[in-house]
Amino acid sequence: MSGAVTNIRSGARREWVINLVLLAGLGLVPLWAWFADAPFTITLATRAAILALAGTGLNIALGMGGLVSFGHAVFFGIGGYAMGILASHAQNYDPLVQWPVVIEGTQFMPVIWIVAILAGAVAALVIGALSLRTSGVYFIMITLAFGQMFYYFAISWPAYGGEDGLAIYVRNGFPGLNTLDPIQYFALCFAVLLVVLFFNARLIRSPFGLALNAARQSTQRVEAVGMDPFRLRLAAFVLSGAITALAGALFADLNRFASPAMFSWQLSGEIMVFVILGGVARLCGPLAGAVVFVMLEHFLGGLSEYWHIFLGLLLLLVVLLAKGGLIGLLSGRGAAHG
């Protein structure tokens, strides 16, 4: 018994070391690239940080809540379009709303982020309130259906680019930073990721985290102690959607482009794939997965446009051989949860 307890502890310690190494690596590689004048590497790292953020959002629903959402691209896309719509109105000097009050667009990132977070949260509240009435395969299908709805809506909305998407000329601004400088924009995204990971680490240990985690394992258990599992899951879904929407805003800003593809089911799948690859319910699972995903995409994508085959193979191996994903494999904590 005490041996088992010690194993849990040493595994947890090792996971912390791995997390720190991962974070340090993601922080230092762009710094090296900056000295070596390799801006594209910095862009790749920024992409990884943003995808890690999106995955961290999904991980709250998927990992902590056990909610297999196949529609998280909805929130990613909403964040992207929140950025695109606000920024395009601002750059065209065309107010967003004329009546009853005039609301201007903005190219000020903090405001864009707040709008993205709120829009993502509201969408998640509505989608969650409807889809969390179901579970299992039905939940997966309903979230997928919502994703497709948003995708086709974005395609058929000519005011904001329709199929062509929505491009902006300059990256939005953040006080004190030149966001067009790759290393500065990376630092900003990395900082956002760190803040969210810190929040997530607290969340896991919080009363809400404990209750949500228990609800995933036994609905009856949380009911029997007087908690409403639906409310817990809905709150998790909202939180999850809000974080993924923030990632979407950053992603669109990175590319200076919001496209309907941000809503696509393929993207929902990709986010889920790299979260599972890295380790579901692991604090830095999404980060590990996103880094591997971006590296594969870059190196193998250059060799063949069918690089997803290799991603699929890797996923297959990890799922079959390491139930806790890459993080679980490295930390020696096999089980996917805990």
List residues near other proteins by CB under 8 A. 1, 4-5, 8, 202-203, 205-211, 213-214, 217-218, 220-229, 232, 235, 335, 337-338
Question: Structure tokens of 29?
Answer: 């590689």
- By beta-carbon proximity to other proteins, the closer residue of 82 and 132 is 132
- Total Cβ atoms within 10 A of residue 296: 17
* Rounded least distance, CB 39 to other proteins, Å: 38
Q: Tell me the DSSP string of 124-160.
A: HHHHHHHHTTS-THHHHHHHHHHHHHHHHHHHT-GGG
* Rounded least distance, CB 229 to other proteins, Å: 7
Among candidates 65, 52, 120, which has minimal Cα distance to 290?
Answer: 52
- By beta-carbon proximity to other proteins, the closer residue of 56 and 179 is 56
Cα–Cα distance measured from residue 37 to residue 204, given in angstroms and rounded to the nearest whole number: 39
Cα–Cα distance measured from residue 240 to residue 124, given in angstroms and rounded to the nearest whole number: 8
- By beta-carbon proximity to other proteins, the closer residue of 137 and 205 is 205
- By beta-carbon proximity to other proteins, the closer residue of 156 and 217 is 217
* Rounded least distance, CB 208 to other proteins, Å: 5
Longest dimension (CA), the chain: 68
- By beta-carbon proximity to other proteins, the closer residue of 276 and 290 is 276
- By beta-carbon proximity to other proteins, the closer residue of 53 and 112 is 53
Question: Structure tokens of 323?
Answer: 């139930």
> What's the DSSP call for residue 257?
E
Q: Is 4 within 8 Å of 215 (Cβ atoms)?
A: no
* Rounded least distance, CB 332 to other proteins, Å: 15
Element (H, E) at 275: helix 265-278
